[in-house]
Structure 1
Amino acid sequence: MNNDVTLLHRYAHARAGDKGDRLNLAVFAHDTRHYAWLLEQLSEARVMTLFHHRGVTAVRRYPMPNLGGVNLVLDDVLQGGVNGALNLDGHGKTLSALLLSLPVTPPPGVA
Protein backbone atom coordinates (compact mmCIF):
# COMPACT_ATOMS: atom_id res chain seq x y z
CA MET A 1 0.00 0.00 0.00
CA ASN A 2 1.21 3.50 -0.85
CA ASN A 3 1.57 5.65 2.28
CA ASP A 4 2.44 8.86 0.45
CA VAL A 5 0.17 11.81 1.12
CA THR A 6 -1.10 14.01 -1.68
CA LEU A 7 -4.04 16.38 -2.13
CA LEU A 8 -7.59 15.42 -2.99
CA HIS A 9 -7.68 17.58 -6.13
CA ARG A 10 -5.41 15.07 -7.83
CA TYR A 11 -8.19 12.46 -7.71
CA ALA A 12 -11.43 14.47 -7.62
CA HIS A 13 -13.17 17.66 -8.67
CA ALA A 14 -15.88 19.65 -6.90
CA ARG A 15 -18.72 22.09 -7.39
CA ALA A 16 -20.03 24.46 -4.75
CA GLY A 17 -23.32 26.17 -4.13
CA ASP A 18 -24.80 28.10 -1.26
CA LYS A 19 -28.04 29.34 0.18
CA GLY A 20 -27.93 31.60 3.20
CA ASP A 21 -25.40 30.19 5.64
CA ARG A 22 -25.47 26.65 4.17
CA LEU A 23 -22.81 25.38 1.77
CA ASN A 24 -23.30 22.51 -0.65
CA LEU A 25 -20.15 20.77 -1.95
CA ALA A 26 -20.48 18.03 -4.56
CA VAL A 27 -17.27 16.04 -5.01
CA PHE A 28 -16.70 13.56 -7.83
CA ALA A 29 -13.86 11.09 -8.32
CA HIS A 30 -12.01 11.54 -11.62
CA ASP A 31 -12.05 7.74 -11.89
CA THR A 32 -15.34 6.17 -10.75
CA ARG A 33 -13.39 3.09 -9.63
CA HIS A 34 -12.16 5.30 -6.76
CA TYR A 35 -15.67 6.00 -5.45
CA ALA A 36 -15.36 3.81 -2.32
CA TRP A 37 -11.98 5.41 -1.59
CA LEU A 38 -13.55 8.88 -1.96
CA LEU A 39 -16.18 8.01 0.64
CA GLU A 40 -13.45 6.84 3.02
CA GLN A 41 -11.58 10.11 2.62
CA LEU A 42 -14.61 12.37 3.04
CA SER A 43 -16.19 11.33 6.29
CA GLU A 44 -18.48 13.85 7.98
CA ALA A 45 -16.04 14.13 10.88
CA ARG A 46 -13.07 14.79 8.63
CA VAL A 47 -14.89 17.49 6.66
CA MET A 48 -16.09 19.05 9.93
CA THR A 49 -12.49 19.24 11.14
CA LEU A 50 -11.32 20.82 7.88
CA PHE A 51 -13.95 23.58 8.11
CA HIS A 52 -13.80 24.02 11.89
CA HIS A 53 -12.11 27.42 11.60
CA ARG A 54 -15.12 28.65 9.59
CA GLY A 55 -17.56 27.88 12.42
CA VAL A 56 -19.30 24.90 10.79
CA THR A 57 -21.91 23.36 13.10
CA ALA A 58 -22.97 20.30 11.08
CA VAL A 59 -21.90 18.25 8.06
CA ARG A 60 -24.24 15.85 6.30
CA ARG A 61 -22.99 13.48 3.63
CA TYR A 62 -25.13 12.13 0.80
CA PRO A 63 -23.41 9.42 -1.27
CA MET A 64 -24.12 9.43 -5.01
CA PRO A 65 -22.87 6.02 -6.15
CA ASN A 66 -24.29 6.22 -9.68
CA LEU A 67 -22.34 9.45 -10.24
CA GLY A 68 -19.15 8.40 -8.46
CA GLY A 69 -19.46 11.26 -6.00
CA VAL A 70 -20.69 12.56 -2.69
CA ASN A 71 -22.73 15.61 -1.79
CA LEU A 72 -21.70 17.40 1.41
CA VAL A 73 -23.98 19.91 3.12
CA LEU A 74 -22.29 22.17 5.69
CA ASP A 75 -24.27 24.39 8.07
CA ASP A 76 -23.14 27.77 9.40
CA VAL A 77 -19.91 27.73 7.41
CA LEU A 78 -20.45 30.94 5.43
CA GLN A 79 -20.21 33.25 8.45
CA GLY A 80 -23.69 34.65 7.91
CA GLY A 81 -24.01 34.12 4.17
CA VAL A 82 -23.63 36.51 1.28
CA ASN A 83 -25.79 39.22 2.85
CA GLY A 84 -24.53 38.87 6.40
CA ALA A 85 -20.81 38.17 6.17
CA LEU A 86 -18.04 40.75 6.20
CA ASN A 87 -15.60 38.43 4.43
CA LEU A 88 -14.75 38.78 0.73
CA ASP A 89 -16.28 35.48 -0.36
CA GLY A 90 -19.72 35.34 1.20
CA HIS A 91 -20.89 33.00 -1.54
CA GLY A 92 -18.48 30.24 -0.52
CA LYS A 93 -17.57 29.28 -4.11
CA THR A 94 -13.88 29.07 -3.29
CA LEU A 95 -14.49 26.70 -0.39
CA SER A 96 -14.51 23.81 -2.87
CA ALA A 97 -10.80 24.62 -3.34
CA LEU A 98 -10.30 24.28 0.41
CA LEU A 99 -11.93 20.86 0.34
CA LEU A 100 -9.82 19.78 -2.63
CA SER A 101 -6.68 20.78 -0.70
CA LEU A 102 -7.42 18.05 1.84
CA PRO A 103 -4.40 15.76 2.32
CA VAL A 104 -5.26 12.18 1.35
CA THR A 105 -3.58 8.85 0.91
CA PRO A 106 -3.75 7.88 -2.79
CA PRO A 107 -6.35 5.32 -3.83
CA PRO A 108 -5.28 1.66 -3.85
CA GLY A 109 -3.23 0.78 -6.90
CA VAL A 110 -2.29 4.37 -7.71
CA ALA A 111 1.43 5.12 -7.65
Structure 2
Amino acid sequence: MTRTTQLREFASARSGDKGADANIGVWTETDAAYEFLRENLTAERVAAHFHALCRGEVVRYELPNLRALNFILHDALDGGGAASLRTDAQGKTLSLGLLQMEFDAPADLAR
Protein backbone atom coordinates (compact mmCIF):
# COMPACT_ATOMS: atom_id res chain seq x y z
CA MET A 1 0.00 0.00 0.00
CA THR A 2 1.33 3.44 -0.90
CA ARG A 3 0.44 6.96 0.13
CA THR A 4 1.52 10.43 -0.88
CA THR A 5 4.11 11.63 1.58
CA GLN A 6 6.80 14.27 1.81
CA LEU A 7 10.46 13.29 1.85
CA ARG A 8 10.76 14.72 5.38
CA GLU A 9 8.58 11.90 6.70
CA PHE A 10 11.24 9.25 6.04
CA ALA A 11 14.53 11.10 5.48
CA SER A 12 16.67 13.91 6.83
CA ALA A 13 18.75 16.42 4.86
CA ARG A 14 21.38 19.12 5.20
CA SER A 15 22.70 21.55 2.63
CA GLY A 16 25.55 23.96 2.10
CA ASP A 17 27.78 25.55 -0.50
CA LYS A 18 31.08 25.46 -2.32
CA GLY A 19 31.30 28.73 -4.23
CA ALA A 20 28.45 28.93 -6.73
CA ASP A 21 27.53 25.25 -6.25
CA ALA A 22 25.24 23.84 -3.58
CA ASN A 23 25.21 20.39 -2.10
CA ILE A 24 22.36 18.57 -0.40
CA GLY A 25 22.92 15.43 1.62
CA VAL A 26 19.91 13.18 2.24
CA TRP A 27 19.97 10.18 4.56
CA THR A 28 17.56 7.63 5.98
CA GLU A 29 17.42 5.42 9.04
CA THR A 30 16.44 2.13 7.37
CA ASP A 31 17.65 0.04 4.47
CA ALA A 32 14.14 0.01 2.98
CA ALA A 33 13.92 3.81 3.00
CA TYR A 34 17.39 4.10 1.47
CA GLU A 35 16.49 1.67 -1.32
CA PHE A 36 13.34 3.68 -2.04
CA LEU A 37 15.40 6.88 -2.20
CA ARG A 38 18.03 5.28 -4.40
CA GLU A 39 15.36 4.28 -6.89
CA ASN A 40 13.19 7.41 -6.75
CA LEU A 41 15.25 10.46 -5.76
CA THR A 42 17.15 10.90 -9.00
CA ALA A 43 19.39 13.74 -10.13
CA GLU A 44 16.79 14.54 -12.79
CA ARG A 45 14.02 14.80 -10.22
CA VAL A 46 16.13 17.07 -7.97
CA ALA A 47 17.01 19.24 -11.00
CA ALA A 48 13.32 19.59 -11.85
CA HIS A 49 12.48 20.43 -8.25
CA PHE A 50 15.06 23.26 -8.22
CA HIS A 51 14.69 24.33 -11.86
CA ALA A 52 14.11 27.98 -10.91
CA LEU A 53 17.39 28.18 -8.95
CA CYS A 54 19.82 25.71 -10.49
CA ARG A 55 21.28 26.72 -13.83
CA GLY A 56 23.79 23.88 -14.06
CA GLU A 57 23.92 20.11 -13.91
CA VAL A 58 22.78 18.15 -10.87
CA VAL A 59 25.03 15.21 -9.98
CA ARG A 60 24.10 12.46 -7.50
CA TYR A 61 26.54 10.45 -5.42
CA GLU A 62 25.49 7.31 -3.53
CA LEU A 63 26.82 6.51 -0.06
CA PRO A 64 25.15 3.16 0.69
CA ASN A 65 27.15 2.50 3.87
CA LEU A 66 25.60 5.68 5.31
CA ARG A 67 22.18 5.13 3.68
CA ALA A 68 22.70 8.51 2.06
CA LEU A 69 22.69 10.36 -1.24
CA ASN A 70 24.59 13.58 -1.92
CA PHE A 71 23.55 15.97 -4.66
CA ILE A 72 25.74 18.67 -6.15
CA LEU A 73 23.72 21.44 -7.78
CA HIS A 74 26.12 23.24 -10.10
CA ASP A 75 25.62 26.99 -10.56
CA ALA A 76 22.72 27.09 -8.12
CA LEU A 77 23.82 29.97 -5.88
CA ASP A 78 24.15 32.91 -8.26
CA GLY A 79 27.88 33.21 -7.68
CA GLY A 80 27.91 32.15 -4.03
CA GLY A 81 28.07 33.87 -0.66
CA ALA A 82 30.58 36.57 -1.59
CA ALA A 83 29.00 37.47 -4.94
CA SER A 84 25.25 36.90 -4.67
CA LEU A 85 22.51 39.19 -3.38
CA ARG A 86 20.18 36.24 -2.73
CA THR A 87 18.75 35.85 0.75
CA ASP A 88 20.27 32.36 0.95
CA ALA A 89 23.45 32.75 -1.08
CA GLN A 90 25.03 29.79 0.73
CA GLY A 91 22.26 27.27 0.08
CA LYS A 92 21.51 26.56 3.74
CA THR A 93 17.74 26.30 3.17
CA LEU A 94 17.82 24.09 0.06
CA SER A 95 17.57 20.96 2.19
CA LEU A 96 14.29 22.21 3.64
CA GLY A 97 12.99 22.76 0.13
CA LEU A 98 13.97 19.25 -0.91
CA LEU A 99 12.35 17.70 2.17
CA GLN A 100 9.00 19.05 0.94
CA MET A 101 9.19 16.97 -2.25
CA GLU A 102 6.28 14.55 -2.47
CA PHE A 103 6.40 10.85 -3.31
CA ASP A 104 3.98 8.00 -3.65
CA ALA A 105 5.80 5.83 -1.14
CA PRO A 106 5.09 2.67 0.79
CA ALA A 107 3.06 3.59 3.86
CA ASP A 108 5.55 1.90 6.20
CA LEU A 109 8.45 4.22 5.25
CA ALA A 110 7.21 7.14 7.35
CA ARG A 111 8.83 7.47 10.75
**Between Structure 1 and Structure 2, how many residues are aligned?**
110
- In structure 1, runs of 5+ residues without a counterpart are none
* Cα deviation code 1:5-42 (max 9, x no counterpart): 11000000011121111111110013233111011221
Query: Where does residue 81 of structure 1 map in the other structure?
Result: 80
Deviates more, 1:97-106 or 1:26-35: 26-35
User: Identity of paired residues, percent?
Assistant: 39
* Separation in structure 2 between the aligned mates of residue 87 and residue 63 of structure 1, nearest angstrom: 29
SS in 1 for 2:58: strand
| Structure 1 contact 58–74 (Cα < 8 Å) conserved | yes
Query: Is the contact between residue 27 and residue 66 of structure 2 (CA under 8 Å) also seen in structure 1?
Result: yes
* 1:108 shift after superposition: 6.3
The CA distance in 2 between the partners of 1:55 and 1:78, in whole Å, is 7
Aligned pairs (5 A) from 1:23-102: 23-102=22-101
Contact 2:32 2:109 in 1 (8 A): no
Offset from partner CA, 1:55-93 (integer Å, 9 cap, x none): 331011111111111111110111221111111111110
Matching of residue 103 in structure 1 with residue 91 in structure 2: no
SS across alignment from 1:36: helix
Quote the RMSD (CA, aligned, Å): 1.6
What is the TM-score with the length of structure 2 in the denominator? 0.90
**Runs of 5+ consecutive residues of structure 2 not aligned to the other structure:** none
Q: More displaced, 100-109 or 56-65?
A: 100-109
Looking at structure 1, the residues matched to 66 and 24 of structure 2 have their Cα atoms a distance apart, in angstroms, of: 14
Structure-1-length-normalised TM-score: 0.90
